[in-house]
Structure formats: C-alpha cells, structure tokens
Amino acid sequence: MAETTIEWTDATWNPVAGCSIMSSGCTNCYAMRMAARLEAMGVEKYKGLTRKSGGRPKWTGALYLDEDALQIPKTWSRPRNVFVNSMSDLFHPDIPVSFVRKVWSVMSDTPRHTYQVLTKRPDRMAAILKEDFDLLPNVWLGTSVEDSQVVHRLDELRQVPAAIRFVSFEPLIGSVSAGSLEGIHWAIVGGESGPKARQMEASWIDEIFDMCSDADAAFFFKQWGGHNKKKTGRSYRGRTWDNMPATAA
C-alpha cells in the first residue's frame, strides 16, 4: 500500500496478505521473504502467514483479508498504475467471491487508477468473472507463467473477460515456446533474483520477444536477475524495453 520500485507499476495495494505455493515459480517467492520480515517487525497483518522450512520462509496457506485496506486507493488523488495484491493472489481458492466483489467495487469507484491484477490461478479468475462482474476498462488481468509446465495458464487467461490481458514471465526459469500470446496484450519478462536465483537463458527471452511480435503484444523487459540484479541490469538487445499497453495511467 505504498510507492514501489517494481518497474512496471507505481504503487502496490494489498487488501489480502498470504498465499500458498502453487508451482515451481513460487519456490523463491520474494513475498514469502517479505511477509516473514514484516511478521518479525511485529506487523499483525502478517502473523502466521509463513513458517520456516529448510531454513527459508514458506507460506502456511493462511490468509489475512484486510477490510481496512480496501478504501486506500480512494485516498490517492493522482492517477496511478496499481499492482493489486503483491503479497497474495486475489483468486486464491480460499478468498471468498464476496471479498473479490469488494475489491472490484473499489476499482470501479476509482477509474482514475489503472489496476494490475496478477494471479497464478487464471482458471478461477475466469470462472468467477464470467458470473456477473462488470468488465472494468481500468482493470488489467494477468497470469504468471514461469516455464513449460504452466504454459496452459495462457489458454486459461484467454477465457478471462478483460479490457487488457497480460502475462508475467517472471521468474522465467524455462522455455515457454509452446505458448502463444494471441489475445494477450502485454508481456513482462524477468529473471529470478535473490540468493538462490535460478538462471534465465537468453534464448527463452528471444522466444517471448518473437511471440510478442507475432501477437502484437507490448514487450517489457524487467531484469536479468541473479544474485545481484542491479549488476546484471535491464538491458536486452542493447536497450531497455518498457513497452506497455496504450491505456496505462
């Protein structure tokens, strides 16, 4: 619920905290480390959301629905790109549809902001939103795809009613050449960072770059990652790539 250094957004908003490990991309999740740190600092919202396993924090599966945080975007007068639930997943199976509706209501009431909702569960996202949710032009809906094992999420994302669909290939830990970006408007690519970061191959990025060209999707290169992401930087093919869909705030 603050300004952020995430390159593709302006602020984060966390009406939910906590999650569950879903696939191999979750192994070194930064949010697990951050949640453990915040609990150690005495932040009540993050109490019991992680446990130590193998010397590292892991999600327990517990969630915290933060009713008090729901109205925060209404206090922001300047238009912002807002990453929704950087510390959770709005479409986690244990989040009631009634709470998703509350989040939707706030996003509807604040059309000056552009909301970026990212999930590893696009199948549940599609099922819920096809019921009787309004299609909001200021809400972008996306999924995370880290390797070929979860490339099916792209097909599931195409079933989601959305003004803008996007995919985060981060952490990119394998080839996703079996996928297609048809019907998807934006792709973010990034390598894993941190002490146990897995290496990203340049050829995997090339595949996504070509997929973007074929589907006329915007290409955003976030980072090479590694143990020192500042050192490895953000340059790909000799330049930075900060392309976004035209409706960004």
The predicted-structure confidence for 184-222, as pLDDT tens digits, reads as follows 999 999 999 988 999 999 999 999 999 999 999 999 999
d(CA 176, CA 98): 34
The answer to whether residues 88 and 78 touch, using CB atoms and an 8 Å cutoff, is no
Looking at residue 195, its pLDDT comes to: 87
pLDDT band (50, 70, 90) for residue 247:
low
> Residues with Cβ < 8 Å from 186, sequence gap 6 or more?
140, 142, 164, 165, 166, 167, 217, 218, 220, 243, 244, 245
pLDDT for 249 beyond 80 = no
**CA distances from residue 206 to 8, 167, 173, 229, 237 in whole angstroms, order as listed:** 20, 16, 14, 20, 10
Tens digit of pLDDT for each residue in 41-81? 999 999 999 999 988 999 999 999 999 999 999 999 999 99
d(CA 17, CA 248): 26
pLDDT for 2 beyond 80 = no
221 closest CA partner among 243, 202, 200, 238: 243
The answer to whether residues 57 and 50 touch, using CB atoms and an 8 Å cutoff, is yes
Structure tokens at 23: 């696939």
What 3-state class would DSSP assign to 166? strand
215 closest CA partner among 247, 183, 189: 183
Looking at residue 78, its pLDDT comes to: 96
Q: Cβ of 164: how many Cβ atoms within 10 Å?
A: 21
